[in-house]
Amino acid sequence: MGRNWLIMPNINASKYGIATGTISQTFSTARTTSSSYSNQPSTSNSLAVEFFRDSGKGGTNYRFRRFFLAFDVSAYASGYTISNLQLNWRSTTSTQNITNGAIVVKSTAQGNADTNLSGNDFYNAVDYSTAYSSSFTWADANANTSVSLNSNAISQFSNSYLKLVMISKTFDYDNFSGFSDVVVKGQVNISGTGGFVPYISFDAVASGYSNNVIGVDGDDIDNIIGVDSADIDNVSGI
């Protein structure tokens, strides 16, 4: 057996954007139709995830908002065992009614983590069938917040890119229009003042060269002629 090498990287989102839906009196139209995109926002109190239902004299109106993020994980696409994957962001006190009310799911937007949101990424790029987390509480505080991501998310490392979208669990993911008026808001601070670009953190274990070299067991080898064993695939073809 070879020696295992543990590293604990943090990787910032290389692309991130907020997708805002149209306001409509038809729930399904509001859920599927985009209005605008804010790519690479840098404000201290961005409304990132939203659902509202508002009944007035003109009828009931709905709107959705979603937070897309893409990460380049190509450096860890092979040769590593990934675990303890977490998504991290800075929440704000403007967050509202989102206790156990958010979830992370797979996104197909943002190319190879290098493309802005466009077209109907708002709905077409949301893979509701592939959840990356359980439902979680978005902190109503100026606080660093995180959620654990599951094996579905970890499996994307082999593709070199992890792309995800944060949405309302109760109304968006569960496709539920609600029984009464409500406002659900998840706010983020992405500014350079007290905030930061959302990032993923994880454990990555790389196995070093595992074979015996001139009588020395692989477990006892740190490097061979100056090359770390974690970076060695074979020695003289073995």
In whole numbers, what is the pLDDT of the chain averaged over residues? 90
pLDDT at 212: 54
pLDDT at 227: 53
Q: 122-142, pLDDT tens digit by residue?
A: 999 999 999 999 999 999 999
pLDDT above 90 coverage of the chain, percent: 80
**pTM of the shown model:** 0.87
pLDDT at 36: 97
Q: Which amino acid is at 174?
A: D
Distance CA 87, CA 107 (A): 14
Residue 185 predicted with pLDDT over 90: yes
**Residue 233 pLDDT class (50, 70, 90 cuts):** low
Distance CA 63, CA 22 (A): 6
pLDDT at 5: 84
Residue 215 predicted with pLDDT over 70: no
Kindly state the greatest CA–CA separation across the chain: 85
Distance CA 154, CA 150 (A): 7
Instruction: Count CB neighbours of 190 within 10 A.
Output: 21
Task: Please state which of the ranges 149-153, 181-185, 234-238 shows the lowest mean pLDDT.
Answer: 234-238
Residue 189 predicted with pLDDT over 80: yes
Instruction: Count CB neighbours of 115 within 10 A.
Output: 15
In angstroms, what is the C-alpha Rg of the chain?
A: 22
**Residue 1 pLDDT class (50, 70, 90 cuts):** very low
The domain segmentation of the chain, as residue ranges, is 4-206
The whole-angstrom distance between residue 175's C-alpha and the CA centroid of its chain comes to: 21
pLDDT at 213: 54
Counted residue by residue, the chain has a size of 238
**Residue 100 pLDDT class (50, 70, 90 cuts):** confident
Residues ≥6 apart with Cβ < 8 Å to 16: 39, 40, 41, 67, 68, 69, 70, 190, 197, 198
Distance CA 193, CA 184 (A): 25
